[in-house]
Chain A
Amino acid sequence: MSAAVAQAKRWYRQRISAMVLVVCVVVHLCGLVYAVRGGLTATEILGRTHGNWGFALFYAVFVIACAVHVPVGLTNIAREWWGLGERAGLWLGRAFAVLLLVLGLRSVYAVVA
């Protein structure tokens, strides 16, 4: 696969994940405003999230969309602003994707399980 085709596919993934993120962010913010209407405590949050697999599925999708979307832009920033080469930029992006996935999914697991 040529570099140009790979770049075009990365852009496509970034675009599709952005569409998912639009929905996720709106639902997340609305949920946030609704959830804190009567104050906010750890017990209250965990009481709502424990065993809530719908919540887990939604935030797992959110985390995956972030892990797809963010590294593409980060790679571009690293190449343009920090002068990294293509390979180094791509590996930085991949490493950041793994970091987002691990931290994000671990957090989701922690509040649901």
Chain B
Amino acid sequence: MRTTDKLEVRVWRGNAAGGFSAYEVPRQNSQTVLDVVTHIQRHLEPSLSYRFACRVGMCGSCAMTVNGKARWTCRTHVAKVLDEGRGLEIAPLANLPVIKDLVTDMGEFFDKWARARGSFKGTATRHDDFARVAPTSPERAAADAGIECIGCAVCYSSCDVVAWRPDFLGPAALNRAWTLVNDVRATGQRERLAAVAGDAGCHSCHTQGSCTERCPKKIAPTLAIAGLKRTVAKAAVRGQL
């Protein structure tokens, strides 16, 4: 139920050295945070920059920090996050450089996927038969658990270790690496394990679980990272790294 017809909204303006600007937005039923940002840009502040595309939780481009927590704004109802005393505070994602207003530079985030050997390379050609992977095999189950990530960076923005160690690969890149470690068709596994080991990799994770708690897709990067720790440590102890 709505309690007022107006919504007090504070939106981040400028780059990292910017600040919050206050706006008053009409309250609607079933209003999402993205609706609020769109209203501000269309009616109150035409120069406001933000990203969105699909509006239905498929593309992952509209993630922002809403009242202190990273969320998809398109799938977040105002009623769910509104703090009556504080109103609504919308900021860019944390742990990423701010370009302008609510837009962050995602370059480093995706570069880390590449550094974690997050791209698939196999040996089969178009002349080979399909690989047969049993859906019930443990490897397939582990890969399935993390494969639906759409790269929205909510986990990366929620991770304290990324804030402490800027070179930490982060939950999304490590989750991607774990799906490939469990892909029986993938090659270059030794290089992948070496890439995700050490200070910048899985061993820096403190298992705080913010990534798992905030992932809108209900993926558990914490579990993926734990799997990487076990696999990497076994390989290191056996001299296979």
Q: Which A residues contact B (CB, under 8 angstroms)? A: 2-12, 15, 76, 79-81, 86
Contact = CB atoms under 8 A, between A and B. Distances in A.
Interface string B9-50: 000000000000000000000000000000000000000000
A8 B204 contact: no
Given A2-B241, A7-B203, A11-B229, 9 more contacts: A4-B197, A6-B198, A7-B198, A8-B233, A12-B233, A12-B237, A15-B233, A76-B204, A80-B164
Nearest to B160: A80
A10 B203 CA distance: 9
A4 B233 contact: no
A80 B199 contact: no
Contacts of B161: 80
B164 A8 contact: no
Given A3-B198, A76-B204, A86-B199, A8 B241 contact: yes
6 contacts: A3-B199, A4-B199, A5-B198, A7-B197, A9-B236, A86-B199
B198 A4 contact: yes
A7 B199 contact: yes
Q: How large is the interface on B (under 10, 10 to 19, 20 to 34, 35 or more residues)?
A: 10 to 19
A86 B197 CA distance: 15
B236 A12 contact: yes
Contacts of B201: 4
Contacts of A81: 164
B7 interface: no
Contacts of B235: 8
Contacts of A9: 233, 236-237
A58 B230 CA distance: 28
Interface-centre pick from B161, B199, B233, B237 (highest chain A CB count, 10 A):
B233
Contacts of A15: 233
Interface in B157-174: 161, 164-165
Interface in B193-241: 194, 197-199, 201, 203-204, 206, 229, 232-233, 235-237, 241
Nearest to B200: A4
A33 to B, nearest CB: 30
Nearest to B201: A4
B198 A8 contact: yes
Given A15-B233, A80-B164, A8 B199 contact: no
Nearest to B231: A8
Contacts of B229: 11
